Each structure stands twice: as C-alpha cells, then as structure tokens.
Structure 1
Amino acid sequence: MASDSGTQADSIKLQPINRRAVFTFSGTHFLNDLVTTGIVPALIVLYKHALHLNYTQSTLIVLISYLTSSVSQPFFGVITDRRPRVWLFSAGVFLSITGLALTGIAPSFNWLLVFIALSGLGSGAFHPEASRGTHLASGQKKGTAQAIFQVGGNAGQAFGPLMIPLFLVHTGLHGLIWFLVLAFLSIPLTVQLLRWMGDRVKETALKKKEIPGENHILGVVLLCGVIILRSWCQIGVVVFLPFYLKHLSIGASETLNFIFVGAGAIGTFLGGIWSDRLGMKKLLIVSLFLATPFAFLFPHLHGFLSVLDLLFFGFCVLSSFSVGVVYMQLLLPRNVAVASGLAIGFGVGAGGIGSVLMGSISDAFGVSTVFTILSFLPFIAAIFAVFLPSDRVRLAARVKHK
C-alpha cells in the first residue's frame, strides 16, 4: 500500500506545467485585478469630484476595496484548505466585476462603499482558489507558473488606470455599468477549468500527509512585513501620483501610472523566472535594494527623467511579487490556500490601510510629504528580507524527502 501511494505521489510530482490552465488562470487574474486593484485607485479622482469627497473619504474607498478583497483572502484560504471549493474561482471573478460595474450607478457615497465591498469580496473569494489552481498546474516550475499568474494580475492593475483616459473620461462614471459584459464573459472562461481543478484537488489530497517540513511562523511574519511595506509603496504611488502631478491632466497622470505598474508587470514575470534560478530570498533582497534609489530620486526629477525613473522603480519594486507568493507557500507547505491568501491578500489589504494613513497625512501636510515617506519603504522591506529563512534549505529538504 505504501509503495502504491508513493508511486501515485511521484506521478503527481513529475507532471509537467499545464500551460493552458496557467494562462487561463492568468487571464482571469487580469480581469479580476483590472476592476479591483487596477481601476479602483485610478477612479478615486473621479469619485472625489463626483461626490465632493475629501482625501480621507476618497482613500476610504480604497481601504474598503482592499480590506474586503485582501484581508478576506486568508479567511477564504482557511475555509478552502479544509474543504476546497473550486466554484469560488468562477463565482469570485464574476462578483468582483459586477460589484465594480454597479458603482457607476451608485446614488450616494454609502451605496458606493457597499458596491465596492461586494466587488472586494468577490476578489477575496477568487484569489485563493485561482492561486491554488496555478500551484497545481505548475509542475516543477513553481516560480514561472506563479509569475505568469501574477503578471496577469499586474497587467490588470496596469491597464486599470488606462481605462480613465481611453473610456471613462468620455462616458463618465455611468460608463462603468458596461463592465457587466466582462462579468458575463468571464463565466465560460472560468467554468471550463472547474472539473480539472476538482480532479487535481482530489489527487493532491492523497499525498497531503507526505508533505515534508513544518510551517515556519516567524518566516511568515517577516515575509508579511516585506509584502506590507512593498504594498504601501506600490499603492501609495498609484493613488497619489495624480494628486502629486496635479499640473498634468488626469489622462496624462494615469498614463504615468500605467508606466509604473506596467513595468512592474514585466518585472513580476522576469522575477518569477529568475527566482527559479537565483533563489527567492536573494531576488527579494536585490530587487528591493535596487528599487530604493529610484524611490528617493522620483520627487526630485521632472520630464523624461521622471518617466524613466518610474519605469525602473516599478520594475524593481514589483519584480518580487510572484516570488512572495511562492515563498509563502514554501513557508506554509501544509496550507497552500492560506499562504496564497496571505501573500496576495493580506499585503494588498495592508496597502489599502496604508493609503488611508497617507490620505490623512496628505490632508495635514500635503501630498509631497507622502512621496518622501514612500521613498523609505523599499529599503526597510529589503532589511526585513535579509532575515528571512533560506528558501534553498527548505527546498533541499523537500528534494531529500522525495
């Protein structure tokens, strides 16, 4: 019996990367993050003017979006680790898009927050199962698969701000209702994977007791610190760049946001591939240290140099995004969905909290003070990363077990 179990586990471990599944997960991640972490921060300018909000109220929208979408992810992870619910992958992305679409017809600020919360909960339900599915489809290419999955989300974040100058500037907030078309298009895209996901979950359940190593709680805490600081930096730039560059049109400032997050999407993809070769801890430390000088320089640059700086800043600070997810799964080998919820959700949710804090600072001291604070965050995150447990040691333990 033990031999049969071992043979079955080996056949699961040796499966190659399922590229069709991975790219489908990436595509749905694009749609989900386009309407949550992508377009919501960019819409703050329009929400603020339409409903006559102050900075604190405006950033409260981001907080509600990120709290419901991100802090809920670990809780969905706990539930689905105990009993996988693959249908949340499909239902989650549908609800996230639908909630955002309804904000276009929100009659008041309170209703706006309700619809934002619905969208956030959909995103919170989507991520753990989608990340688990990517993990199951990755074979031996964990970093590469997560990079493909995360670059879909980062691309959604990048294209979110572009929806303002390309579409919503012409239609106004009411144009958001057209996103319902995307919500219904997501159904056939996601449903096709549900049977495969269910079968793979059953297969991996057979070898769950054989997973080597215990959860590394101190490492999880340190990695959460890295993710939170990086998220504060990223979200701070996206939310406050249009206010910082108020001499530019909304379209121009959101185009700069696209450059920042778009470069981050490229960094996410390459960072995942490089981490398979260089190691996750090393890539985390190096990328965050490299982001530090660009963060310090940005408030002091103008014109083309500021655009170039944003390009390198976004590339460096977000090149460890997918690495953080795989690293967290390595530190929590017995709770993959919880690990995904923490790495993707908790960090982004903390970014929402940070945006409200930065909004209060902006009301009191001005937006330029926020960018001064943001410039220190990648350096502090890099220091945290230095003390992370070695990913090479934990991977070696797994290989020895196999």
Structure 2
Amino acid sequence: MTKTTKTAMNVLFGVSFAHLLNDAMQSVVPAAFPIFQQNLNLSFTQVGWIAFTLNVTASILQPLIGYCTDRKPMPMLLPLGMVFTLLGMIGLAYAPSLGVLLLASALIGIGSSVLHPESSRVAHLAAGKGKGLAQSIFQVGGNFGQALAPVIIVVMIVPLGQSSFLWFTILAIIGIIVQSIIGRWYGKKVKEVAISKHSLPAEAPRQAFSKSFIGYVMLILILMLFSKFVYLASMTGYYSFYFMDKYELPLSRAQMCLFALQFAGMVGTFIGGPLADRFGRQKIIWFSILGTAPFSILLPYVEPIIAMILCVFIGLILMSGFSVIIVYAQELLPGHVGTVAGLFFGLSFGLAGLGSVFMGWLMDSYGVSIIIQLSAYLPLLGIFALLLPKDSVIMGSKLKEA
C-alpha cells in the first residue's frame, strides 16, 4: 500500500468515524422519545413533530449545501456542522418545553445537513475505483452510531435522566477535532484536482441521458427511499411503544430489539457496497427493499425473542441498499457528487420526518398497534425497483469510451 493510498484510507475511516459520532447523537433523539413524552406529557403527534423538525431541517438544507459545494467546495464546513450539533445537545439536556426540544432538534438537523453531503464528497475523493466500498465504509459509521443509540438510552439516559445529554457534548468536541483534520486533507485534495484538470487534456464528454429518463430513474429511487425511511421511522420512533404495550416489558427490552436492528444494519451497509460492486447496483437495490418484506410483515405477530431475530434480518437486508442507491444516482448524474448526496440524504431525513408526524397523528387517532402492523407492508414497494435500468445501461456510455 502506497503512502497516498494509506492516507486516503485513513481519511475514509476518519469521515466514517465522524459519521458515527453525528448519527449516534442524532439517533438518540428518537430513541429518547419515551423519556421526553413522560417528562413533558407529550402526545404522539407532538413526539412526531420533534422527529419532523430533526429530519426536515436536514432535508431542506442538504441538497442546497451539496449544490453549492459542487460549485465551490468548502472544507471548513465539516467542523462547523459539529458545532451546531454541540449546541443542540446542550439544548436537549435543559429543554423545559416542547418549543426548546424543537429548537435543539433543529440545530442537530442543521449539523447533520452539513456533514452528509461534504463527507460523502470526501469519501468519493478518497475512494479510488471502489466507489461502492467507499460509500459503504462512510455509511457504516453512521449505521454503527445509530446502533449505539438504543444502548446509550438504556445505559445512560434512562438511569441519569434528560440532563445526561450533556455527556454528548464530549462526542461533539471530538467530532469537531476529527472534522478539522479531515478538512485540511480535503482542502489540499481539492487544489490537486483543480491543478490536474488544468494540466491534463480534456476528456471526451460522457453522453448525457435525457431529462425524462433521469426523471424516471430518480422517481423510482425516491420511492425506494420512501419505503425504507418511513418504515425505519416507524421502527425507531414508535416500535418501542408497541413492544412495551404488546409484551408488557420495560423500555430497556424494547431498545434491545432496536439495537439488534441497527447493529445488523451496520453489517448490511458494510457488505452492500462491495456486493453491488461485484453483482450490480440494481440487483442490490431491489433486494434490499423487497427482501425485507417477509420479515417486516411477520414482526408484529411474534414473541419477543423471535422479534429480536427478525430485527436482525430486517436491519441486515434493509440497510444494505442506501449507499448503493447513492452511488447508482451519482453514476446517473456524473459531476454532481455533492448535489446527489445532499439530495438523497436530505430526502431520507425529510421522508422520515414527514412519516413520523403522519404516523404519530394516526397513532393518536387509531392506536399504535394497527399503524405498526400496516407500516410493515411498506417494503413491498421494493417491487418497483425491478423497473430500474440495469447497471450496463447507466454505465453504458462510460464503457463505450473505455
């Protein structure tokens, strides 16, 4: 391994670690919904508004940040995002009302909106030829952070209370330091790329797809995001309530099911990219959504131990496709790495936020049980991924040039 390759891998694992810190802090918010509901006497609809604020704040800003940084990369945005998250954690610790919870959630959402498109671009720059693997390494950090959230709730938030969110400021400070180091490498890399573009002969332009074709593909990919993230919102935000009510077990047991789902999701994310590099992105995309359906549909009707096992299969399969969807879209729209990353990360948060509000309202109206059972059918939408063009179509013009 050359020094340059080793440095690139260190940077790749660095952005993955920063993603871990960010998503651990972000994911602990929905994991703590039962705590907020008890402390502040919130309805399910109000709980849904917290998730909505957290996710939609990120959703609105991420595509804009991705578009702007495609035109002019901004390496120092990386540590700045962690500063917003730091302020959000302080707000959660001292929130006396729903309004303060919403403000703190918005700050965390802003921090996330900065991290995802720029860190995804760093992963793309450090990737070399293994784009799928690089996105998986970056994404697996986030999934590991999400997996830690239920454990943190059980170990820290439940026994110590809402003020224990102050401990997360340590993670945010570590994130600021890590992102500052990565930002310096990123700045140097951007200058190197700019110099090479001026010194090398211009490449033949890749044949562009028609707007209707791009719209068709993007519509299917967005539908996949909808099925994945609205279902995940039902699990991370509300499955704990269903679990405690159905089995008459404490919150700690419910959080262990979510930990199993998120930890398996981390593994699924890590293997999804390399499998897509080997077997094709289109195949992994449809399998990651549709393949989840048998397990999600069965989940509400089984005993607690079986539920934990099913959560493992759900996480392993469902999480394997997100990084693949991003790379697939980036290959569809070459030259728009940040815009695509910002759009898809933003949509994922936005859809999850809207889904949380809508499901919270439905649960207040019809009960938790029926909505959890109905949301289990969302992965069946994965059947539409079979209509995606095969990889050879997306990469066809590039192959012809080679």
TM-score, normalised by the number of residues in structure 2: 0.92
Structure 2 counterpart of 1:71: 60
Structure 2 counterpart of 1:219: 217
Structure 1 counterpart of 2:20: 30
Q: How many residues align?
A: 387
Moved more, 216-225 or 148-157: 216-225
What per-residue deviation string (whole Å, max 9, x for no partner) do you get for residues 346-382 of structure 1?
A: 12221111011111111111111222222221111x1
Matched, 1:108 2:109: no
Matched, 1:240 2:234: no
Native 8 Å contact 1:228 1:348 kept in 2: no
Structure 2 distance, partners of 1:371, 1:288, is: 18
Native 8 Å contact 1:98 1:179 kept in 2: no
Matched, 1:45 2:39: no
- The alpha-carbon deviation at position 107 of structure 1 amounts to 2.7
Matched, 1:134 2:123: yes
Percent identical pairs in the alignment equals 35
Structure 1 distance, partners of 2:58, 2:335, is: 23
Native 8 Å contact 2:150 2:255 kept in 1: yes
Structure 1 counterpart of 2:319: 318
Moved more, 124-133 or 382-391: 382-391
Structure 1 counterpart of 2:398: 398
Moved more, 235-244 or 391-400: 391-400
- The alpha-carbon deviation at position 15 of structure 1 amounts to 7.2
- 1:87 is matched with which residue: 65, 76, 86? 76
Structure 2 distance, partners of 1:183, 1:348, is: 20
Matched, 1:173 2:167: no
- The alpha-carbon deviation at position 384 of structure 1 amounts to 2.4
Native 8 Å contact 1:74 1:340 kept in 2: yes
Matched, 1:329 2:330: yes
Structure 1 distance, partners of 2:317, 2:361, is: 28
Q: Match of 2:157, as an amino acid? A: L
Native 8 Å contact 2:227 2:289 kept in 1: no
Structure 2 distance, partners of 1:25, 1:213, is: 32
Q: Match of 2:90, as an amino acid? A: A
Structure 2 distance, partners of 1:325, 1:104, is: 34
Native 8 Å contact 1:51 1:109 kept in 2: yes
Structure 2 counterpart of 1:9: none
- The alpha-carbon deviation at position 270 of structure 1 amounts to 0.8
Q: Match of 1:119, as an amino acid? A: I
Structure 2 counterpart of 1:366: 367
Native 8 Å contact 1:70 1:346 kept in 2: yes
Structure 2 counterpart of 1:345: 346
Structure 2 counterpart of 1:383: 383
Matched, 1:20 2:10: yes
Q: Match of 2:332, as an amino acid? A: L
Q: Match of 2:8, as an amino acid? A: N
Structure 2 distance, partners of 1:377, 1:207, is: 45
Q: Match of 1:225, as an amino acid? A: L
Moved more, 267-276 or 221-230: 221-230
- The alpha-carbon deviation at position 207 of structure 1 amounts to 4.5
Structure 2 counterpart of 1:3: none
**Counterpart secondary structure, 2:42:** coil
Structure 1 distance, partners of 2:88, 2:391, is: 39
Moved more, 226-235 or 207-216: 207-216
Q: Match of 2:300, as an amino acid? A: P
**Counterpart secondary structure, 1:320:** helix
Moved more, 16-25 or 318-327: 16-25
What per-residue deviation string (whole Å, max 9, x for no partner) do you get for residues 297-341 of structure 1?
A: 111111322211111111111111211121121122121101001
Structure 1 distance, partners of 2:258, 2:302, is: 16
Q: Match of 2:338, as an amino acid? A: A
Structure 2 counterpart of 1:253: 254
Judged with a 3 Å threshold, the aligned counterparts in structure 2 of structure 1 residues 130 and 213 are, in CA distance, closer, same or farther, namely: farther
- The alpha-carbon deviation at position 57 of structure 1 amounts to 0.2
Structure 2 counterpart of 1:279: 280
Native 8 Å contact 1:17 1:138 kept in 2: no
Matched, 1:290 2:291: yes
**Counterpart secondary structure, 2:291:** helix
TM-score, normalised by the number of residues in structure 1: 0.92
Q: Match of 1:115, as an amino acid? A: A
**Counterpart secondary structure, 1:18:** helix
- The alpha-carbon deviation at position 278 of structure 1 amounts to 0.5
Which ranges in structure 2 are unaligned for 5 or more consecutive residues? none
What per-residue deviation string (whole Å, max 9, x for no partner) do you get for residues 62-113 of structure 1?
A: 0000011233211111111121111111211232243123211123211111
Over aligned residues, Cα RMSD in angstroms? 1.9
Moved more, 285-294 or 128-137: 285-294
What per-residue deviation string (whole Å, max 9, x for no partner) do you get for residues 260-306 of structure 1?
A: 11111111111111011011101111222221100111111113222
Native 8 Å contact 2:50 2:105 kept in 1: yes
Matched, 1:152 2:141: yes
Native 8 Å contact 1:134 1:149 kept in 2: yes
Structure 2 counterpart of 1:60: 49
Native 8 Å contact 1:67 1:349 kept in 2: yes
